[in-house]
Amino acid sequence: MFVGILLYVILVCGTNLFHFNFEMNSDIASDAILAELIWKNKEIMPSTWYIANETRIICTPNIAAIFFGITKNMTLASGLACCTMTLMIMISIVYFGKSAQMKKNAVLFFCFLCIAFPCSRPILELLYLFASYYAIHVVFLFITLAFYVKVLKTGEIRGPKFLVAVAMALLLGLQGVRGILVIYGPMLGIEVVRRIYLFYSRQKTGRSDRLLTLWVSALLITSFVGTCFPFSVEQKFSRNLRKGFFKFFTTVIPDMGRALGWESTNWLGRLCLGILFAVSIYELLYLLWKILKKKFVTPIEWSWFVIFSSPFVSAAIVSFTTVESTQRYYFLLPFLLAFSVVLLLEQNVKGWKALPLAAAILLIFINVFYVYYPIFLSKDPPVSEQYDVVCFLEEENCPVAYATFENANMMTVLSNGKIRVYPVATVENMDICKWMASTEWYCPNVPYKQKTAYIITAVEMEEFKKFLAQKGESVHKVKEIGKYTIYISENNYSNLG
């Protein structure tokens, strides 16, 4: 088991350190650039930075900033931060397993499955590779569940641990609403179900039960308070009650399948995923049967309920509101599959343990070849038009350029910061893009008189012609590379809008 974990940690770390640009995009690149900005400005959240979906307070860029200070290498720093996040997830899972008093082999197997099961690259980006956007949420989830399951097992209330969990809830709230959706909302819901079950089965409740319910409620309230701070990102949406079920079946379910990796593997991988999902449904039905029959539900089974409910609560919210569905909302589904297999092996259930165990092992091997093998065969940075553009600008000794967001930050990181391509909202006005960009990059905060490139795609050319009409002969076309046309001027025409 330990060898398997070590193998996958090597695969993850090798990818982050030596193939960081494998699937580079401007979202991943923006976090790498933010890390550099955090270090240079010595601010947790730089005052010049335009925030996107979440405020980065305790995330990968904050860790990458420390590594950037040591290495002065943008891609290496971000890769090291993702490796660190991976190790933090593994440690938090081990801590949860020990708190739940799982057997040592079961804990190691759980760790192994959690790192090996994700086979959708967008989900891997959220957890282990390139960006680890939601890794800290997973870490805080398992630490919080460790405290929760420990109280259920022993009845002991540890004040310091409870306060640590409250502080973590506040930090996630300061970043946005994801902590409420993924951890604290589902956790409170399951705690309410547990209290109803205790009442229904006429089991005695004590002081620890009351304090536990109050603590779980406090976590949700504290995280919500965090979202009310001015720098927290607000999530705006409206109701979608009439078309909720239609959205659930036509959009949400397919996105959940993508999150599991249904479209990222072969037919054999899909068969394994189907078997493992069936195990999760079996566990749900089995635990509901135990509740209805007033049988004892173990602490670890209550924690399983929390992880099960998390993606499905998100699915319900997305379905019946106008929030746009994406597989990112269901990133805990691979952890659900892993937990379900481990829980089945822990339970005294006879008959069909061999089938899910075989499916799990087979999926692990499939993922090595479908996910990581192509990455390790690739060149870094990969051959692409975007990389050719920054190489050309480096040859032309033109270190500053502007492009739309889809290309700008990505090109900066592909050059590892040698060429700075800054995002603009429109190529007609070259005005600041107020999305994962810094005000430091635009006139008058940069010199007007400096050699500057403007990178235009074929789709943007009509709009760019209006810019050319205003600037006359001061902007010259110098090169076409694939879909990109490069113009250079001795003047920097960017502005703050």
The 10s digit of each residue's pLDDT in 409-429 is 999 999 999 999 999 999 999
Residue-level pLDDT at 235: 59
Region of 283 on the Ramachandran plot (φ > 0 left; ψ -120 to 50 alpha; else beta) = alpha
Strand blocks (E) in 262-405: 400-404
| DSSP-assigned letter for residue 47 | T
* Coil, helix or strand at residue 407: coil
Residue-level pLDDT at 160: 87
- The side-by-side arrangement of strands in the sheet containing 484-491 is 420-424, 400-404, 449-457, 484-491, 475-481
Global model pTM greater than 0.85: yes
Which of 10, 64, 18 lies closest to 38 in space, CA to CA? Answer: 64
Neighbours of 156 (CB within 10 A): 9
- Tokens matching residue 485: 């046309």
| DSSP-assigned letter for residue 327 | G
Residue-level pLDDT at 349: 67
Highest mean pLDDT among 47-51, 143-147, 209-213, 248-252: 143-147
Tokens 């990059």: give the residue. 441
| pLDDT confidence bin for 154, thresholds 50/70/90 | confident
Q: How far apart are CA 415 and CA 153, in angstroms?
A: 53
CA torsion sign for 140, 144, 150, 153 is negative
- Tokens matching residue 5: 């974990």
Q: How far apart are CA 105 and CA 196, in angstroms?
A: 34
- Tokens matching residue 120: 């959708």
| pLDDT confidence bin for 204, thresholds 50/70/90 | confident
Average pLDDT across the chain, whole number: 91
pLDDT score of 209 more than 90:
no
